[in-house]
Amino acid sequence: MGQYDRKNFIISVKLRESCSDKRIIDWQLERDYSYTPDEVNTFETSILPHYNLFAEKIVNFFIEYKSCSLSPNKWNTFEPIKHTFDISELSKYVGILAYPGSHLFFKKDGVCSCHIENCDYGFWWFGGKPCRPKVSFEYLVEIRIFFSKQRKPKMEFMQQLADDMAEYFNTDYAKIIDQEMASEMPPLYEKDPKAVIYDAVAK
């Protein structure tokens, strides 16, 4: 797709519900964000596979939407999106997304690519010491679907998709953004009001 230029429409959807495995969140709180990498590794291994019902709902949306029109054929946890997507490995994709701070990328060749971010606080260390969260996020999941303008995606389809995602996820944030209409200076395109060409919630 065209993520590295500005010739894209982006459906941006933000969700307030956590998609993280609750056992991980609870363990972070119980330990008061004080742990070593070895302790984290031991704990994570003990609760495999990671799981969250909402994470499964997110993954299933892309697999099932409108006769599989968005069903991915590739995936990865970072760019480039190059691994073959296998629906029989659904639990793997759900487990990745259920990990706090994770990123999951999907791609349907010739249609779109998608970046899903779990915004829950993950495990971070600085100078050998575990970091504590300093801010709380209003939205705990961010989904961005990129449609390259070169492929001339239908606006009606993108608007319907934004509407359907807003309803399916019961969210108050589902917008279509035109990257080329955004300013080149901060705020970035996703925060630039003039770049928003459709708001599924405010329409």
Long-range pairs for 193-202 at CB < 8 Å and ≥24 separation?
Answer: 197/9, 198/155, 198/158, 198/159, 198/162, 199/174, 199/175, 200/159, 200/162, 200/163, 200/165, 200/166, 200/174, 200/175, 200/176, 201/166, 201/171, 201/172, 201/173, 201/174
pTM across the whole model: 0.93
pLDDT at 1: 44
What token pair was written down for 29?
A: 């709180």
Strand partners, 147: 9
Percent of the chain with pLDDT over 90: 84
Given pLDDT bands bounded at 50, 70 and 90, which one contains residue 121? very high
pLDDT in tens, 139-157: 999 999 999 999 999 999 9
- Mean pLDDT in residue range 69-83: 96
Please provide the average confidence, as pLDDT, over all residues in the chain: 93
